[in-house]
Structure 1
Amino acid sequence: MALIGYARVSTVGQDLDYQLDRLRSVGCEKIFSSKHSGKADANKKQLSELLSYVREGDTVIVTKLDRLGRSLSQVLGTIELLAGKGIYLKAIDQNLDTSDDSPIAKAMVQLLGMFSELERNFIITRTQEGKAASGNYGGRPTKLDKTSREEVVTKFSAGLSKSQLAKEYGVSRATIMRIIKG
């Protein structure tokens, strides 16, 4: 009957330390952690390693329920997998413990999962609205503005070579070719 921790952050820029400290403070003997986007295979790999490691009677501990997945179906699927193996789950911040097999406890798991997904969807919506309002959708800024790109096309049509244009505008030939192809 071991306490096994699982910590996950969504981006490399986020910090795992808070989760790791919390998991250690409740006595986790081993902690699996992942520091990648939820779409990354590394998350699946760490969760898969955790699921392979835990044994019947163990308890998997997370700081929050949403650490187990990016959607309600993923979270509930993981909880079902754990339950099917006779493994309990505790979410520290949400005071959730699946070792309590009562109908109320089961309903709480589903409600908390649903609220976690709702919160995540709100964050995504706000992020998308912010990007639309600012016009900044990420990515590297273009080296040449619209006027310069139009000049490149005009000068190329007038006979200047891609290499000459690349040198004149301080960009690579590949950039010039992309501008010309439009």
Structure 2
Amino acid sequence: MIYAYLRVSTDKQTVENQRYEILKYADTKKLSIDQWIEETASGVKSVKNRKVGELVSRLEKGDIFLVSELSRLGRNLMEVMAILHDCMEKDVKVFAIKEGYELGNNINSKVLAFAFSLSAEIERNLISQRTKEALARKKSEGMRLGRPKGSQNKEVKLTGKEEDIKKLLDKKVAVAAIARILDVNRLTVRSFIKTRKIG
């Protein structure tokens, strides 16, 4: 079986770029994908509580596991290594497309997977550390951080939909129904109507 795994961290992101990369690769290698596994899950969430954990548990010898990049598997070194280790133990091939890795149950693959995961972990930690240092410096210089109290973004998810919302309200469409139509939470619609004084 050939599996393709797609993950984004939030519902504001899209898996379409990952899907495109995987489809392009599969076409080049003449691979036919049997099953797509797609999830929205923060990398902080443990593997066993994610679809990828369930997938890895049912992989069998000879299966192929496609992912756009290894960082999609997890947010830290140990998590990525645990998944790759399980795959290699089962003699499952993992193809990480953007990095160009084809990992199997051999020493070269294990070394490569370890090196990649370690460098990704270090990079994330460095970015986090640099951000914290920059914020601490700005704070020490007297700069107030974050959005000023009581202020709101000028642009919000429903910006530009005022006229549509007004028409729906005029037709006596319920706020909950408008929220479903616009694919947002009803509280978002209610707040938008109130702040923009619609209707």
Q: How does 1:1-182 map to 2 (within 5 A)?
A: 2-25=1-24, 26=26, 27=31, 28-40=33-45, 44-99=49-104, 101=106, 103-129=107-133, 131-132=135-136, 133=138, 135-136=144-145, 142-143=149-150
Query: Unpaired segments of 5 or more residues in structure 2?
Result: 152-199
Q: Which has the larger radius of gyration?
A: 1
**TM-score normalised by length of structure 2:** 0.59
Pick closer, same or farther for the CA change 1:4–1:130 going to 2, 3 Å. Answer: farther
Structure 1 ranges of 4+ moved more than 3 A: 40-44, 126-138, 141-144
Deviation at 1:54, TM superposition (A): 2.3
Structure 1, gaps ≥5 residues long: 145-182
Contact kept in structure 1, 2:88 and 2:105, CA below 8 Å: no
Q: CA deviation at 1:41?
A: 6.0
Q: Structure 1 length normalisation: TM-score? A: 0.64
- Distance (Å, rounded) in 1 between the aligned partners of 2:93 and 2:42: 26
- SS in structure 2 of the partner of residue 113 of structure 1: helix
Q: How many residues align?
A: 140
For the aligned residue pairs, the C-alpha RMSD in angstroms reads 2.8
* Cα distance in 2, alignment partners of residues 84 and 71 from structure 1: 20
Q: 1:51 to 1:135 in 2, by over 3 A?
A: farther
The residue identity in structure 2 corresponding to 1:98 is: L
User: Matched residues, percent identical?
Assistant: 26
Report if aligned partners of 1:131, 1:137 keep a CA contact under 8 Å in 2: no
Q: Give the SS at the match of 2:50.
A: helix
Kindly indicate whether the alpha-carbon contact (under 8 Å) linking 1:36 and 1:43 is maintained by their aligned counterparts in 2.
Answer: no
